[in-house]
Structure 1
Amino acid sequence: MKVKHLLIISGPSAVGKTTLIDDLINKQSKISHRLLKHTPEQLENATICNAINVEKLEHPNIDFLILHYDIYSNFKEGEGFLYLPDLFRSTESIRIITLVTHHRVLVKRTKQRFVYYLFRALIKPSPSKFKKLRLIYSKIKTYQSPTVANAIYERWENFLSEWDVRDHQIIDTTTDSLATTYDSTTARSVLTGVN
Structure 2
Amino acid sequence: MNATPSSQRMEWTEGAIDQFLCTEELGYQAIDLPFGRRTPGASRLDLCDIAFGQDLAGKSVLDVGCYLGYFSLIACERGAGHVRGLDIDPERIRQAKIIADIKGYAPEYLQADIERISDADPFDIVLCLNVLHHLADPIGSLRKLVQITRHSLIVEVAGFGGHDARKLNITPAVGWALKGRPVIYVSEGHAVTNEITAKQKYFFSPEAVTQILTNHFGVFCEVQTYRSAFKDRTIIKATRRRIRHLLIVAGPTSSGKSTFLDHLSAGGLPDNVTALLPKGVERWPQVTANRLVRRDELALEEPVLDGLVLHYDILRPKTTGLGAYRGDQALDLITCAESLTVITLRPSKDRLIKQLVQAEILEREKPAKMSRRSLAHAMGRRVLERGPALVGAALSILPGFRGRHEAGKAASRLMQARRLSRDYGAPRWLDRWYDRWSGYVNAVAPSANIINYDPCNRALLD
Which whole-Å deviations, capped at 9, do the CAs of 1:46-98 have from their partners, x for residues lacking one? 11000112241322222210111100135531564623542111111100000
CA separation in 2, counterparts of 1:165 and 1:52? 26
1:30 maps to 270
CA change 1:134–1:100 in 2 (3 A) is same
Counterpart amino acid of 1:110?
A: L
Report the counterpart of residue 182 of structure 1 in structure 2. Answer: 461
Query: In 2, distance between residues paired with 1:4 and 1:122?
Result: 41
Instruction: Show structure 2 runs of 5+ residues with no match.
Output: 1-240, 370-402
Q: Deviations over 1:98-134 (max 9, x none)?
A: 0102212111111111111012268966222222212
In structure 1, the residue corresponding to 2:342 is in which secondary structure?
A: strand
Q: Larger Cα Rg: Structure 1 or Structure 2? A: 2
Write out per-residue CA displacement over residues 148-169 of structure 1, whole angstroms, 9 at most, x where no aligned residue: 1111101101101211143001
CA distance in 2, matches of 1:155, 1:61: 30
1:69 match: 312
Cα RMSD, aligned residues only: 2.2
Distance 1:74 1:25, change over 3 A: farther
- Does the aligned pair in 1 maintain the 2:325–2:331 contact within 8 Å? no
Q: Which residue of 2 aligns with 1:166?
A: 448
Pair 1:43-2:43 in alignment: no
- In structure 2, the residue matched to 1:82 is 328
Task: Output the amino acid matched with 2:312.
Answer: Y
Q: 1:74 to 1:22 in 2, by over 3 A?
A: farther
The size of the alignment, in residue pairs, is: 177
Q: Secondary structure at the match of 1:6?
A: strand
Cα–Cα, structure 1 residues 65 and 87, in superposed 2: closer, same or farther, change >3 Å?
A: same
CA distance in 1, matches of 2:447, 2:420: 27
- With a CA cutoff of 8 Å and minimum separation of 6, indicate the structure with the bigger relative contact order: 1
Task: Say if 2:294 is the partner of 1:53.
Answer: no
Would you say 1:143 and 2:424 are equivalent positions? yes
Change in 2 beyond 3 A, CA 1:114/1:80: farther
Judged with a 3 Å threshold, the aligned counterparts in structure 2 of structure 1 residues 78 and 12 are, in CA distance, closer, same or farther, namely closer
TM superposition score normalised by structure 1: 0.81
Tell me how far apart the structure 2 counterparts of residues 53 and 122 of structure 1 sit (CA, whole Å): 21
CA–CA distance in structure 1, aligned partners of residues 352 and 275 of structure 2: 25
2:347 is aligned to 101
- Calculate percent identity across the aligned residue pairs: 24
Q: Which runs of 5+ in 1 are unaligned?
A: 184-195
Helix, strand or coil at the partner of 2:365: helix
State how far apart, in whole Å, the 2-side matches of 1:181 and 1:79 are. Answer: 25
